[in-house]
């Protein structure tokens, strides 16, 4: 089964920038503008291996999305890379059990390397 990533970002310009960054990769890319949309996509798409998750979202927060997915044993293999401008992002990512984090605005080559490492893509 092929792998996909889900990019959850409420800012359209950043969402599109990430989409462009990953468009030529050997994995699919899904986009969500809210926590609610992310949960709907995660419920429908079985191939998502990694979620790039903005923590500050309208409605359901990124933190709530992660917690809801972690409660579902069938989705326990999904990895999370948290994205935020918060100063304590590293500590929050560790506390939430995320596999990675990236400060916003992301440095694209570093983000790309992190995603590929988490997916096991060389």
The pLDDT assigned to 96 comes to 94
DSSP 34: S
Helix residue ranges, H only, the chain: 12-22, 35-44, 62-70, 89-96, 108-119
* 79-84 sheet: strands from edge to edge: 28-32, 4-8, 48-54, 79-84, 100-103
Determine the Cα–Cα distance for residues 54 and 80; give it in Å rounded to an integer.
10
At residue 122, the pLDDT reads 63
Q: What average pLDDT does the structure give for the chain?
A: 94
pLDDT of residue 117: 96
Number of domains in the chain: 1
**pLDDT above 90: residue 2:** no
CATH number at residue 62: 3.40.50.2300
Q: What is the mean pLDDT of residues 88-95?
A: 94
**Percentage with pLDDT > 90 across the chain:** 87
Report which of residues 121 and 50 the model is more confident about: 50
The domain containing residue 86 runs over which residues?
4-119
Model confidence at 121: pLDDT above 90: no
pLDDT tens string 40-55: 999 999 999 999 999 9
Taking the model in full, what pTM does it have? Answer: 0.95
- Give the CA radius of gyration of the chain: 13
Q: Is the pLDDT of residue 1 over 70?
A: no
């Amino acid at each position: 089964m092929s792998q996909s990533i889900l990019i959850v970002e409420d800012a359209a310009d950043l969402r599109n920038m990430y989409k462009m960054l990953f468009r030529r990769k050997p994995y699919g890319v899904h986009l969500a503008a809210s926590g609610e949309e992310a949960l709907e996509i995660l419920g429908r798409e079985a191939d998502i291996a990694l979620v790039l998750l903005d923590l500050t979202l309208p409605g359901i927060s990124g933190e709530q999305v992660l917690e809801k997915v972690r409660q579902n044993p069938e989705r326990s293999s999904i990895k999370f890379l948290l994205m935020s401008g918060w100063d304590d992002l590293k500590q929050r990512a560790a506390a939430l059990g995320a596999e990675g984090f990236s400060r916003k605005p992301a440095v694209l080559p570093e983000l790309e390397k992190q995603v590929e490492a988490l997916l096991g893509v060389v």
